[in-house]
């Protein structure tokens, strides 16, 4: 019932959102995103601006490239061309000159060995050789570990040398983008509460020493996290299932739990991949109402992939229509609904 209400109350909010967009308050900016799989172009040259606080939907027939675009934005696959900027920071791009990186790993060790040889270490006996070897090995391991852990300054250093790499999925989450999956991907054998706690992972600060010492700091942090996780479960409408294994929850609750888990990272932008897939009409309208509430209460910006037209038309400010990987239409739900190209893509060309 409340779904209808929120759908009705949506327009005024929309107006302010579009104002924000007009004033240039863009949260996410995708430019020329292209993804090729061999000869197949899954996504071709897609541009998209998501204004802060807006709900933007991507629709299109099956195989239109919606999920591929999503996965590019989420850092799961690298784009073949184009880039995605989030809050003014270039997050996703086509990897460039990545072959240089391995050279950088070995360079310090090689330099050390060369210097040592130049100083005549080979004439100085075993000890000098051993020290040189250990030093070179240590440097190699250090650079190698740096490359694996990839701290921000390392990425920046690489970027300055023209070596570009997309953010990894977990970096995308840290930047403030949360997501759900089309086919629910919960941690099946963990409890609902633990699922949400994993979602909070990036906000927990305890380190190995805390783990070993079971420090008070860690205990306090974990208690606070569990409290927050319970709140999130209530927020998405899950009660009394905190200790149930995720796989034992009914389908609709699993979708809600996945949403709670995505919210746990405190995202600014939420990517929802068909949040109402497989739901019956009642569940669908409840989910739609929930999404509307997330925007209103938490001030979230939402990017939505959806098949269900009622959901899209009810809550979106802006709709992007893809077909065969290309943008065929874009605009307000009303504009898109009337666009002959959209009708054609969904229903086929009319015989006349």
Q: Which residues form the interface with another protein (CB under 8 A)?
A: 74, 76, 141, 144-145, 148-150, 168-170, 173-174, 178-179, 181, 183-191, 193-194, 197-199, 201-202, 204, 206, 208, 210-212, 214, 218-219, 222-223, 225-226, 229, 242-243, 245, 248, 250-252, 261-262, 264-265, 277-280, 283
Tell me how far, at minimum, the Cβ of 147 lies from another protein, in Å: 9
Give whichever of 35 and 261 is closer to another protein, judged by the CB atom.
261
Give whichever of 41 and 198 is closer to another protein, judged by the CB atom.
198
Tell me how far, at minimum, the Cβ of 231 lies from another protein, in Å: 14
Give whichever of 153 and 162 is closer to another protein, judged by the CB atom.
153
Give whichever of 96 and 168 is closer to another protein, judged by the CB atom.
168
Give whichever of 79 and 199 is closer to another protein, judged by the CB atom.
199
Tell me how far, at minimum, the Cβ of 148 lies from another protein, in Å: 6
Tell me how far, at minimum, the Cβ of 107 lies from another protein, in Å: 18
Tell me how far, at minimum, the Cβ of 251 lies from another protein, in Å: 4
Tell me how far, at minimum, the Cβ of 193 lies from another protein, in Å: 5
Give whichever of 141 and 161 is closer to another protein, judged by the CB atom.
141
Cα dihedral: 227, 181, 272, 5 (round 10): -70
Question: Are the C-beta atoms of 303 and 73 separated by less than 8 Å?
Answer: yes
């Amino acid at each position: 019932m409340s779904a209808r209400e929120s759908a009705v109350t949506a327009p005024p909010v929309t107006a302010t959102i579009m104002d924000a967009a007009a004033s240039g308050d863009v949260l996410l900016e995708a430019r020329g995103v292209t993804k090729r799989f061999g000869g197949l172009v899954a996504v071709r040259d897609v541009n998209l601006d998501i204004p802060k606080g807006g709900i933007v939907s991507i629709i299109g027939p099956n195989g239109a490239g919606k999920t591929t675009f999503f996965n590019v934005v989420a850092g799961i696959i690298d784009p073949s061309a184009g880039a995605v900027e989030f809050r003014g920071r270039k997050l996703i791009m086509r990897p460039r000159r990545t072959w240089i990186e391995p050279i950088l790993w070995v360079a310090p060790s090689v330099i050390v060995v060369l210097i040592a040889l130049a100083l005549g270490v080979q004439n100085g006996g075993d000890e000098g050789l051993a020290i040189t070897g250990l030093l070179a090995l240590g440097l190699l391991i250090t650079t190698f570990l740096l490359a694996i852990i990839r701290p921000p300054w390392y990425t920046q250093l690489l970027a300055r040398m023209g070596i570009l790499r997309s953010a990894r999925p977990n970096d995308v989450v840290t930047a403030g983008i949360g997501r759900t999956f089309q086919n629910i991907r919960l941690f099946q054998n963990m409890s609902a509460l633990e699922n949400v706690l994993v979602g909070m992972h990036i906000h927990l600060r305890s380190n190995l020493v805390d783990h070993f010492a079971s420090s008070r700091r860690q205990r306090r942090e974990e208690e606070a996290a569990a409290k927050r996780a319970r709140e999130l479960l209530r927020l998405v409408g899950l009660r009394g299932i905190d200790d149930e294994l995720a796989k034992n929850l009914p389908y609709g609750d699993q979708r809600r739990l996945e949403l709670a888990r995505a919210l746990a990272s405190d995202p600014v932008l939420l990517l929802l991949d068909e949040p109402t897939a497989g739901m019956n009409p009642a569940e669908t309208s409840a989910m739609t109402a929930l999404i509307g509430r997330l925007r209103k209460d938490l001030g979230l910006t939402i990017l939505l992939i959806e098949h269900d037209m009622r959901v899209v038309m009810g809550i979106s400010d802006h709709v992007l229509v893809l077909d065969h990987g290309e943008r065929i239409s874009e605009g307000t739900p009303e504009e898109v609904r009337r666009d002959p190209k959209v009708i054609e893509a969904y229903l086929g060309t009319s015989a006349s």
